[in-house]
């Protein structure tokens, strides 16, 4: 029986990959008895991006604005972020 080089290479690589997959098995262990680590709330926060008027005239209006503000930041926005319990805003 005559085999072409291509068929022999295919058989060779299938044999190597099947052996490799049998040798390198991955196992995952879930340890429900152990206490999970606490992740800081400051790692995940909110992100405010300057999209049109989202920051300027949106969150930051400047100290001389007619809109009620503290150091240029709108008071209603600060209250809303506190109500949402936003840990940080980037």
Per DSSP, the residues of 24-74 read S-------TTSPPPPPPTTTS-B-----TTSSBTTTB--TT-SS-EETTEE
pLDDT at 74 over 80: yes
- The neighbour count for residue 73, using CB atoms within 10 Å, is 16
Average pLDDT over residues 4-15: 72
Average pLDDT over residues 78-84: 89
- Residues 18-34 have pLDDT tens digits of 655 556 677 778 777 87
Average pLDDT over residues 41-46: 81
pLDDT at 13 over 80: no
């Amino acid at each position: 029986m005559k085999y072409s080089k291509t068929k022999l290479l295919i058989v060779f690589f299938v044999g190597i990959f099947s052996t490799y997959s049998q040798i390198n098995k991955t196992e995952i262990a879930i340890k429900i008895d152990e206490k999970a680590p606490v992740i800081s709330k400051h790692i995940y926060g909110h992100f405010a991006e300057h999209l049109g008027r989202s920051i300027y005239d949106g969150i930051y209006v400047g100290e001389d604005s007619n809109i009620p503000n503290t150091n240029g930041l709108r008071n209603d926005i600060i209250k809303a972020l506190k109500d949402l319990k936003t840990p940080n805003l980037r």
